[in-house]
Each structure stands twice: as C-alpha cells, then as structure tokens.
Amino acid sequence: MTALMLAFLVGLLFACGAFMILQRGQIKLILGLGLLSHGVNLALFGTSELTRGAPPILPHDGDLTQMLATRTFADPLPQALILTAIVISFGVTAFIVVLASRRDAFTGSDLAPGELASVINTADPFATHDPHVALPEAADDYDIFQYELDEVYDRPEAAAEIAHEELDKPS
C-alpha cells in the first residue's frame, strides 16, 4: 500500500514538474526542476523495501542471515543516495536562481529574450514586465549573434546592479 502510494506520488511529482518546466517564465522553470528532483528522490527512496520502525542498524549479536531474509532492518543505501542527490540538486538550484536573477537584471523581465517581444502572457501571476515596452522582435539566440545580444541587453542599470557584486576588483 505504502509502495503504491509512493509510486503515485512519484508520478504526480514528475507530471507536475514536467508541466511547470514547459510553462513560460523562469520561476516556474525553477519550481518545476525542484518538483522533478523531488520525484527522482522519492523514486530512489522506493527502490528498497519500505520498512517501518526498523532502523538501518545491524545488531551485533543478531542472526545476520535470518535478518537479511526477513528484512527486519531498513536498507541504508537509498537514504545515503537520496542525501547525496538532495545536496547536489540544492546546489544546482541555487546556481540557477542566481543565473535567473542575473538575467532578470539584464532583461528587466522574468521571461526569456524573444518571448518578451512576441508573447504577452497576461495570465502569468509572476509577470512583472510591462508588455508594451518590448525588446526588438529578433531578440532571441537563434536570430541574433551573441555580440548583438550583449549590446541589446547592455542596460546601464544592470551594470550598476552587478558591479557591487564583483568578487574581486582588479586593483
């Protein structure tokens, strides 16, 4: 029963995560990635038999063969794997949040460049941009060279915002 519930929950998390990633907007993307990684972690959790009230500790004097057969202790390995995976996905998520906020500073919007020009998603609760102040129609990676992209988004206020975050100013 527990295993079945876990399986449904994993499926639900994957579905929600995939849905969120396919939405417009960076915040939804980050939330979707979080849901996906939770789904993977729960799936990892379900890879060992789910035991209740059985700590992952082998007593010194127990009968090991019998204990292995009856599974009267929890398998510690999936928990160790999940712990590692959580730490890694936490680090990566933090990095994406920083990248998103940087892009926010450059473009003044939560949306990716290009999307600003052509799509106005008024139903987006996270949208903070003014849809009438649009960037050039062609402002997307596919249509524009990196050099031009750098020029399009070279807003002086972004430079000022980022300047005080410099790790190491050239002396």
Partner 1 sequence: MTLSPTILALPVAIPLAFAALEIVLQLLRAPRALHVQQTLSLAALLSNLVVAVILLVYTLSGGRLAYQMGLWPAPFGITVYADSLTTIMLTVVGLLALLLLPYAMASLDSRRSRLGYYPMALLLLMGANGAFITGDLFNLYVFYEVLLMSSFVLLALGGTPSQINASIRYVVLNLMGSMMLLLAAGITYGTLGTLNMAQISQRMVEAPIAVQTLIAGLLLIAFAGKAAIFPVFFWLPNSYHTPHPAVTALFSGTLTKVGMYSLFRTFPLFFPNLLVAWQPLLLTLAGLTMLIGVLGAFAQPTIRRLLSFHIISQIGYMLMGLAVALSPSPYGAGFGLALAILFLVHNQLVKTALLMGGGHVELEMGTGKLNELGGLVTRKPVQAVIFFVAAFSLAGFPPSSGFIGKLGLLEVTFATQQYLVAGVSLVVSVLTTMSMIRLWQYIFWGKAKTERRPSPHFASPTVNMMLIAPTAVLVALSLAIGIFAQPALDAARVAANQAIDRVGYIQTVNPQPLTTDVAAAQEQTP
User: How far is it, in rounded angstroms, from Cα 122 to Cα 141?
Assistant: 24
CB-based contact 26:100 (threshold 8 Å): yes
User: From the CB of 106, what's the least distance to partner 1, in Å?
Assistant: 4
Which C-beta is closer to partner 1: that of 122 or that of 167?
167
Q: Which residues bind partner 1 (CB under 8 A)?
A: 21, 26, 29, 33, 36-37, 40, 43-44, 46-48, 60, 64-65, 68, 77-78, 81, 84-85, 88-89, 91-92, 95-96, 99-100, 102-103, 106-107, 112-113, 141, 145-147, 149-150, 152-154, 162, 167-168, 170
User: From the CB of 69, what's the least distance to partner 1, in Å?
Assistant: 10
Which C-beta is closer to partner 1: that of 122 or that of 165?
165
Closest C-alpha to 40, from 32, 28, 51:
32
User: From the CB of 47, what's the least distance to partner 1, in Å?
Assistant: 3
User: How far is it, in rounded angstroms, from Cα 28 to Cα 90?
Assistant: 16
Give me the helices (H) in 108-124, please.
115-118
Tell me the torsion sign for CA atoms 155, 149, 25, 165. negative
User: From the CB of 65, what's the least distance to partner 1, in Å?
Assistant: 6
CB-based contact 93:9 (threshold 8 Å): no
Which C-beta is closer to partner 1: that of 122 or that of 171?
171
